[in-house]
Amino acid sequence: MLAYLNSLRFKMLASILFMIVPLVIVIIVNNIYSVKVVRNQVAQSNKNLLSLYMNEMDSNLNEVDKHLFDFTENDTDLIGFQFPREANEREYMLSKLRLFNTITADISVQRSMDLFFVYSITNGELIMTQQFGSSFEERDATKQEIMQMLQEDPEAFTGPDWRVWEGRNSYALLRLIRSGEVYVGAWVNSSKLMVPLNLIDLGESGAALLTTGDLKPMSQSDMIEREGIELASSLASDSDAYTITGRKNSYLMMDESSDKGDFKLVALVPDDAIQQQLPFLQRVSTLISAIAILFFILFVFFMRRVFMRPMKQLVVAMRKTRDGNWDTRLHQSHTSTEFEIVNETFNRMISEIRDLKINVYEEKLSHHKSELQLLQLQINPHFFLNSLNIIYNLATVKDYKLIQEMSKCLVVYFRYIFRTNRYVVPLKEELLHTANYLRIQELRFPDLLTCSIEMKDEVEGIEIPPLMIQTIVENTIKHAVDIDQQITIEVLASIQPFADGQRVVITISDSGAGFPEEVLKSLHADEEKINEEGEHVGIWNIKRRLRLLYQSNASIDFENKEKDGGALVTLTLPLPPALHS
C-alpha cells in the first residue's frame, strides 16, 4: 500500500483529483441545496393549500354536527318514530313522513353531504334522503349497506368524531348519533370530498387523495400501487414539510390531518416537475459538473492508455525479473517513442543478463561436479589400504577358505566403488554394498561383530549420495569395535513425517562406548577437525557432499543413546519431488 501511495500513477491521479474534486463538490452541494430549497417552497405551498381545504372541510363537517345535534334535540317526531308501530300505526306513519320531509329539506341546505338518515331501533326501519347517486341501484345498495351496519355494529360508528366507513365499492365519512331508540346520521362519499382538491395543480402525474388515519388510501389506489408509493413508511414528522416516496418515480408527499375525524388529506407532487422549476443557472451548474466528471474520466482513460499502461507493464516486468524470472520480455506495442526505446533497451539488457547468469551458473555447476568427484575419489584409497591389510593378515594365518570369501567380498566391494561415478544411487544398492562391507568386517573380527540392516519397502528405489552409509558404518567400526566385548551395529532406513512433510531417515547405531564428549561437541559445532593421519576425513566428506547436493535441506546428527549406551548417527534426506504427494 505504501509503495502504491509513492507511485507516479497515484501522484498524478491525486493531483488531478485535487483540482477537479473541490469544484465538483461545490457545484453538487449548490445543486443539492437549490433542489432542497425548491422542494421546501413547493411543499410548504401545497401544505398550505391542504390546510386551507382541510379547514374548509372540517368547518362543513362541524356545521353538519351542529345541525344533527339540533335535530335530535328539537324534532319531536323522533319520539313518535321510536315507539312500536303496532301501538299507534297512524301516529307512527305521520312521524315517519314528517321526518322524511325534514331531512329532505335539510339535505338541500347541507350540500356538502350526500344523505341524511334516521333509523328506528324498535321497528328496524330506515328512512333516508334520495338525492344522491346516479341510479336507483346505487342508492338501494347504499341503503342496504347502512341497514346492515345499523343492525350489526352501530356502536363502532358512534362517538364524538366522524368515522371512515369502507363500503363495498367506495369509502365514505359517516356521522352517527343515538337519541333514545333512534339513530340519526349523515353520510358523504369520499369522491364528493375530493372535488375541490382536484383543482390543485400538482403536475400531470401528481395527485391529491383522502386517506384513513393509518394512511390507507380512499382513492387513487391504482396510482399508489403502480408507482410503488408507500404512504405509511413515508409519514413525515411534525417538523418536516414533506417526505420523498415512490419506487418508480420520486414524489414529494405532504399530509394534513382532520380535527373532525380519523382521516387525512395527502398531496403527491412528482419530483421531476419540481426539478423543472429550477433556475437556468442551476441547470448550467449541473451541466458543468457532468462535463467535469466526463473530462476526468476521459483524462484518466487517456493517461492510462498513453502513460499508465506502459509504465505498469514495465513495473510488472521488473518485479518478475527481481523474483528471478529472466524469461520476462516487454511486448513491443504501438506506444510513445520514449516507451518504445525503454522497452527495447530493457529486453536487450535482460537477455544479456540472462546469458551472463547461465554462463556463471554452468561454471559453478562444473566446479561442483569436479568437487564431488574429488570427494568420492577421496574415499576409495582410504578403504583400499585397510583391505590390503586385511588380506595380509588372513594370508599370515593361512586361512585360504576365508581368503576366498574375503576376496569375493572385496571384488564386489571394489566393483561398486569403481563404477560409482554417479552423484546418487538407489538406496537398495547402497545398503547391499554396506551389507557386503559389514560381511568383510565380520570376517575380520569373528565373534566380535553382529550386524543388522533393515529397509522399508517404500524406500528401496529412493536415490541417495553413494558411499554415505558405508562411510558412517566404517567410522563406527573404526571407533566402536573392541576386542574385549561384542559389538552390535544396526542400520534402519524408512520414511518419517516431519513438520514440513515426509523425509528419508537412515539411522546407524552401535552398542559401543559412544562418542567421547569432546568429539561430540566438535561434531555438533560442525568443525572440520582432521589431523595429520587423515582421521575424521570421512565425516567431513559426508557433510561437504550433503551441502553441495542438498544445501540446507539435508542433515546428519550425532548423539549417544541414553538407555542402552552406544552411538547413534541419524541421516535425514529430502524426498524426491515425485514422492511428496
Number of neighbours of residue 217 by Cβ within 10 angstroms? 21
Q: What is the DSSP letter of 125?
A: E
Residue 420 and residue 442 in one domain = yes
- Strand blocks (E) in 216-258: 243-245, 251-257
Enumerate long-range contacts of 160-169, CB under 8 Å, 24 or more apart: 161/260, 161/261, 161/262, 162/61, 162/258, 162/260, 162/261, 162/263, 163/261, 163/262, 164/212, 164/213, 164/218, 164/261, 164/262, 164/263, 167/142, 168/141, 169/141
Number of folded domains in the chain? 4
pLDDT over 70 percentage in the chain? 81
CA distance readout (Å), 550 to 3, 96, 430, 569:
36, 120, 18, 18
Residue 293: what are its φ and ψ, rounded to 5°?
A: -65, -40
Residue 376 and residue 347 in one domain = no
Residue 336 and residue 224 in one domain = no
Q: Is residue 12 part of a domain?
A: no
User: pLDDT tens for residues 497-541?
Assistant: 988 888 999 999 998 888 888 888 888 876 655 444 445 567 777
Residue 183 and residue 202 in one domain = no
**Rounded to 10 degrees, what is the CA torsion of 400, 406, 412, 418?**
-100
Q: Is residue 336 part of a domain?
A: yes
Q: Is residue 263 part of a domain?
A: yes
Count of alpha carbons within 13 Å of 73, Cβ hemisphere only? 6
Residue 505 and residue 399 in one domain = yes
Residue 571 and residue 525 in one domain = yes
CATH number, domain containing residue 445:
3.30.565.10
Give me the amino acid identity at 499.
Answer: A
Residue 410 and residue 524 in one domain = yes
List Cβ neighbours of 246 (8 Å cut-off, separation of 6 or more): 227, 228, 229, 271
Residue 88 and residue 47 in one domain = no
Residue 405 and residue 514 in one domain = yes
Q: Are 120 and 154 in contact (CB under 8 A)?
A: no
User: Is the full-model pTM beyond 0.85?
Assistant: no
Q: Is residue 62 part of a domain?
A: no
Among 320, 343, 359, the domain-final residue is 359
Helices (H) and strands (E) in the chain, counts: 16, 16
User: pLDDT tens for residues 420-444?
Assistant: 567 788 999 999 999 998 888 888 7
Among 275, 292, 307, the domain-final residue is 275
User: How many Å separate Cα 468 from the centre of its chain?
Assistant: 54
Among 275, 298, 319, the domain-final residue is 275
Quote the domain boundaries for residue 463: 361-579
User: pLDDT tens for residues 338-396?
Assistant: 667 777 787 788 777 777 766 665 556 555 555 555 545 555 565 667 677 777 877 88
Q: Is residue 342 part of a domain?
A: yes
pLDDT given for residue 366 in this prediction? 55
Give me the amino acid identity at 303.
Answer: M
Residue 461 and residue 352 in one domain = no
pLDDT given for residue 4 in this prediction? 61
